[in-house]
Amino acid sequence: MKKINFQFWNIWSTYAIFYFGKVNLSIVIPALLITYENLNMYDFGLVSMGFMFAYAIGQFLHGQISERFNPYVYITMGLILSGIANLFMGFVGSFFVMLLMLETFDGFFQSMGWSSIVRANSLIQKGEKERDRSSTILGCSYQFGNSFAWLISAYAVSVWGWEAGFWVASIWLLSRGVLLYLTKPKVDHKPKQSVKKQVAVTLSFPIVMTGISLMLLNMVRYGVMNWFFTFLVLEGNVAIADFGSEVWKIVFIPIAGIVGTLVYNKLPWKKDHTSIVFLAAMGVTWFLFPYTTGFNSIILVLISSAFLYGPHVFLVTTIPTRFKEKGIVASSTGFIDGLGYVGTTIIMLLVPYFVLETAGKWNNVFLLWALISFAASAFVAITYFGHFKNNKADKITS
């Protein structure tokens, strides 16, 4: 039991550290906008698109490939390669083309993590109830990692400049990669089904619909993660030296997500039903956001986050583990997450467009997030009533 617990927390802490290479850019962007007048939001929208597009492609590929390898080795490779990419970005991040290229590489390396993390957890947990419970706790790893990485990155940038946002991430990623490799367990390799059959099973109605649901949810989640701090800095005329104090306005967003996820997990409803309700409630919060100011607006964002992360964990962790017996946990995770990051790629350029080209500016962005939340709720409902409600083979106890 101790060994199993250790390995679970080993992968939990590992994926939390992965987020240093995923969310540090959202802290660096406003610092670069303030420092270099030749750079604008469109530039960073393209850079973010490069990262997310590569992440999406990587999820599709790594989800299929990683089924054939020790997941711990695969995760280690992603950590180390992402750490190297961030190291170089600290030297050339002010050059648009170089930043775009390196962030694109980083997106591909970052995508080596999640599908193998989910697969590793499915190997650790023995029963359906354990897998369901652990998937919720595992989902809290990236919420904690998000807050932790934001906090450390913002303080580093406020003291040492934008370069530190990349270098601090590099140190954490490289160190965790080495530690994970040294503590990896032995994983027995079982005969795998052919790639053609694996892909065919993955491209099923519930998995494709779950991917579309995540695509919509990610447009809100990464819209907030990537652009909300920029909104606060630009609208509040915040100086780089004050990033360390301003970051406290966003650092609790993922923490609120953890609280919301734990509440989500305790509710006595089916996870499908709970996700439908939570996503609709999240839409209401973003619809109301333009009509609030100051402290009340921050509270509303925290409430929105509380409604977001439970359904996110459900889509990227719980549903893929429903297909363990079909041997497609990593591949289904990769496909769902990959399709989710197609939505993320789109929102990276939509936000700059609405802010720079429309009369409503940021208010149009918030209304868009509300409409997308309602659409995500509808797609989860269609998936449940169209498949999981009557398909006992893919049901779990929750």
Helices (H), the chain: 2-18, 20-35, 41-65, 71-92, 96-110, 114-124, 128-160, 163-183, 195-202, 205-236, 243-246, 252-266, 271-288, 294-313, 319-321, 329-357, 362-383
d(CA 206, CA 224): 27
DSSP secondary-structure letter at 189? P
Of the candidates 291, 264, 263, 276, which has an alpha carbon nearest to the alpha carbon of residue 363? 291
DSSP secondary-structure letter at 289? G
Of the candidates 296, 331, 294, 285, which has an alpha carbon nearest to the alpha carbon of residue 66? 331
For 307-361, what is each residue's pLDDT tens digit? 999 999 889 878 887 776 666 666 777 788 888 889 998 999 899 999 998 877 8
For 69-81, what is each residue's pLDDT tens digit? 788 999 999 999 9
Q: CATH fold of 2-185+192-394, please? A: Growth Hormone; Chain: A; (1.20.1250)
Q: What is the mean pLDDT of the chain?
A: 87
> Residue 128: pLDDT above 80?
no
For 244-258, what is each residue's pLDDT tens digit? 999 999 999 999 999
Residue entry with tokens 């939509």: 350
Out of 19-28, 116-125, 190-199, 322-331, the most confident range is 19-28
> Residue 125: pLDDT above 90?
no
d(CA 73, CA 189): 13
Q: Which one-letter amino acid corresponds to residue 54?
A: A
- Band (386; pLDDT cuts 50, 70, 90): confident
What is the SS3 assignment for 102?
Answer: helix
> Residue 392: pLDDT above 60?
no
Out of 49-53, 129-133, 284-288, 309-313, the most confident range is 284-288
The whole-model pTM stands at 0.82
